[in-house]
Structure 1
Amino acid sequence: MDAAGQEGFREFVSNRSAALLRTAVLLSGGDRHAGEDLLQNALIKAAGRWDRIEEPEAYVRQILYRQQVSRWRLKGRRRELTVAEPPDSGSGADGAGAAELRLVMREALSRLTARQRTVLVLRFFEDLPEADVARILGCSVGTVRSTTHRSLARLRAHAPELTALGRSDAEEPLPRGFAAVEVRP
Structure 2
Amino acid sequence: MTHWRGVLDEMVRERRSALVAYACLFVVDRRDAEDLVHEAIVRTFSRPRAVTEIHAAEGYVRQAIRTVFLDQTRSRRTWLGRAHLFEPAPSAPGAEDAASATADVGAALRVLSPRERACVVLRYFDDLPVSEIAAALLISEGAVKRYLSDGTGKLRTTLQVVEPDGPDEFESVRVSDLGRNAR
Q: TM-score category by the smaller chain?
A: 0.5 to 0.7
Letter in 1 for 2:160: P
Q: Structure 2: which 5+ runs fail to align?
A: 81-91, 94-101, 165-183
How far apart, CA to CA, are the structure 2 residues paired with 1:45 and 1:70? Answer: 12
Judge conservation of contact 1:9–1:50 (CA < 8 Å) in 2: no
Match of 1:174 in 2: none
Task: Report whether the alignment pairs 1:57 with 2:58.
Answer: yes
Which secondary structure state, in structure 2, belongs to the residue aligned with residue 75 of structure 1? helix
Alignment partner of 1:31 out of 26, 29, 35? 29
Letter in 2 for 1:47: F
Which secondary structure state, in structure 2, belongs to the residue aligned with residue 52 of structure 1? coil
Report runs of 4+ in structure 1 exceeding 4 Å deviation: none
Match of 1:46 in 2: 44
Which secondary structure state, in structure 1, belongs to the residue aligned with residue 128 of structure 2? coil
How far apart, CA to CA, are the structure 2 residues paired with 1:128 and 1:163? Answer: 33
Which secondary structure state, in structure 2, belongs to the residue aligned with residue 37 of structure 1? helix
Match of 2:70 in 1: 69
Compare CA radii of gyration and give the structure with the larger one: 2
Aligned sequence identity (%)? 28
Alignment length (residue pairs): 140
How far apart, CA to CA, are the structure 2 residues paired with 1:106 and 1:121? Answer: 12
Matches within 5 A, 1:80-119: 104-119=104-119
How far apart, CA to CA, are the structure 1 residues paired with 2:162 and 2:66? Answer: 27
TM-score (norm 2): 0.68
How far apart, CA to CA, are the structure 1 residues paired with 2:33 and 2:126? Answer: 16
Q: How far did residue 123 of structure 1 move? A: 0.5
Whichever structure has more helix as a proportion of its residues is: 2
Match of 2:124 in 1: 124
CA gap of 1:163–1:39, structure 2 versus 1, over 3 A, is farther
How far apart, CA to CA, are the structure 2 residues paired with 1:12 and 1:139? Answer: 30
Task: Report whether the alignment pairs 1:159 with 2:159.
Answer: yes
How far apart, CA to CA, are the structure 1 residues paired with 2:49 and 2:141? Answer: 33
Letter in 1 for 2:140: S
Judge conservation of contact 1:123–1:130 (CA < 8 Å) in 2: yes
How far apart, CA to CA, are the structure 2 residues paired with 1:129 and 1:26? Answer: 18
Q: Structure 1: which 5+ runs fail to align?
A: 81-101, 165-185
